[in-house]
Amino acid sequence: MTRRAVGGGPAATGFPAAGTAGAGGTAGAGGAERAAQQSGVPAAPRPGPGAGAQRHQPWRAAFFALAAVAIIAGVAWALLDSRFFVVRTVEVTGTHLVTNAEARTAAGIQPGLPLIRVNGAAVARRVEQIQQVQSARVTRQWPDRVTISVTERTPALAVPSGSGYELIDKYGVAVESASRPPRGMPSLDLPAGSAPVSSLRGSPAVFAAAVVIHELPRHLARSVVSVQAPNASEVTLKLASGITIVWGGTDRPAAKAAELALLMRTHARTYDVSAPGTAVTGG
């Protein structure tokens, strides 16, 4: 005999109705999947645990991109247009013949110029146009200083000019004028009717004469009073004692100095060491 439910509901069989949870009365996920498999209809995929984070990623990327642009724009403004990093001090070092004011004027750096806009190479070239300057190096020192380090030319030879002398460096550049050669500086003897001192700039003969004197043993270099150099391979030295040394070119200075030391024991008046191994004495 079959027992019917009150109110016309389904018959009570002692088992939960299809589609209902056995204990809590809610639909079970496993039951829904089994029902979907039995009916042939695929079940809708369940959202993974990172689905919410993925939805926020485009906004997060856009935020960081905008922040980066803002930082770059702020740095650019601070370096190029703000008053925080501008030139307030131009320091000059290494000058003796040139005044600091002269170097600053040649540099042409205007106060208030953004420090990032200082072209160090261009400034150095302008300073090097000063005749007494051999080289210049420019550095920026944050937040507001530029330093110009100057290397001045060093006089090596004294060239007669008018009633005095022009002191030239090894490149033939006139560094300063003097009434007479400084103590210990040889004079460069030029043939009569030679071109003006300004024509000596870049002369290989002048460079060779200066190099030869620099490479002489110290006691001998102090005795040189004049030097002749018609060309770079014919350098002749005159000592205070009247001795003449035909040195030749700048090659093999150590061998020439060693031979000269031996030959000078003969107390001759002329020594030719231009070709080591075949030295000649005279007088």
> What CATH number does the domain containing 108 carry?
3.10.20.310
- Given a cut of 90, whether residue 74 has pLDDT beyond it is no
Q: Note whether 146 and 242 are same-domain residues.
A: no
pLDDT of residue 195: 81
Q: Note whether 171 and 103 are same-domain residues.
A: no
- What average pLDDT does this structure show over 132-139? 97
Which residue, of 125, 152, 179, is where some domain finishes? 152
| Overall number of domains in the chain | 2
Q: Is the dihedral of CA 97, 99, 100, 101 positive or negative?
A: negative
Six token digits for residue 46: 């369940």
Residue range 211-256, pLDDT digits in tens: 999 999 999 999 999 999 999 999 999 999 999 999 999 999 999 9
Q: Note whether 110 and 209 are same-domain residues.
A: no
Q: Note whether 98 and 188 are same-domain residues.
A: no
Q: Note whether 205 and 118 are same-domain residues.
A: no
Q: Note whether 143 and 173 are same-domain residues.
A: no
CA angle at 162 for the pair 158 and 164, rounded to the nearest 5°: 45
What is the percentage of the chain residues whose pLDDT exceeds 90?
A: 63
pLDDT of residue 41: 53
Q: Note whether 178 and 114 are same-domain residues.
A: no
Domain for residue 32, yes or no?
A: no
Find residue 161's DSSP bridge partners: 164
For the beta carbon of residue 38, count every other beta carbon within 10 angstroms: 8
- Given a cut of 70, whether residue 111 has pLDDT beyond it is yes
Domain for residue 55, yes or no?
A: no
221 burial via Cβ count (<10 Å: 0-12, 13-18, 19+):
middle
Domain for residue 246, yes or no?
A: yes
Q: Note whether 185 and 278 are same-domain residues.
A: yes
Which residue, of 133, 152, 171, is where some domain finishes? 152
Which residue, of 152, 173, 192, is where some domain finishes? 152
Q: Note whether 170 and 276 are same-domain residues.
A: yes
Between 11-25, 96-110, 153-167, the lowest mean confidence (pLDDT) is in 11-25
pLDDT of residue 58: 72
Q: Note whether 98 and 145 are same-domain residues.
A: yes
Q: Considering the entire predicted model, what is its pTM?
A: 0.69
Domain for residue 170, yes or no?
A: yes
For the beta carbon of residue 228, count every other beta carbon within 10 angstroms: 17
In 151-172, which positions are buried (b, 16+ CB within 10 angstroms) versus exposed (e)?
ebbebbbbbebeeebbbbbbeb
Domain for residue 253, yes or no?
A: yes
Domain for residue 17, yes or no?
A: no
- Given a cut of 50, whether residue 167 has pLDDT beyond it is yes
Q: Note whether 108 and 161 are same-domain residues.
A: no
Across the chain, mean pLDDT equals 82
Q: What is the CATH number of the domain that holds 174?
A: 3.40.50
Q: Which residue has the higher pLDDT, 147 or 70?
A: 147
Instruction: Give me the domain span that covers residue 128.
Output: 89-152
Orientation of helix 204-215 relative to helix 253-263, angle to 10°: 60
Domain for residue 199, yes or no?
A: yes
Q: Note whether 237 and 182 are same-domain residues.
A: yes
- In the β-sheet with 164-168, what is the strand arrangement from edge to edge? 174-178, 164-168, 157-161, 187-189, 224-228, 235-239, 244-248, 270-272, 280-282
Domain for residue 270, yes or no?
A: yes
Whether 109 contacts 146, CB under 8 Å: yes
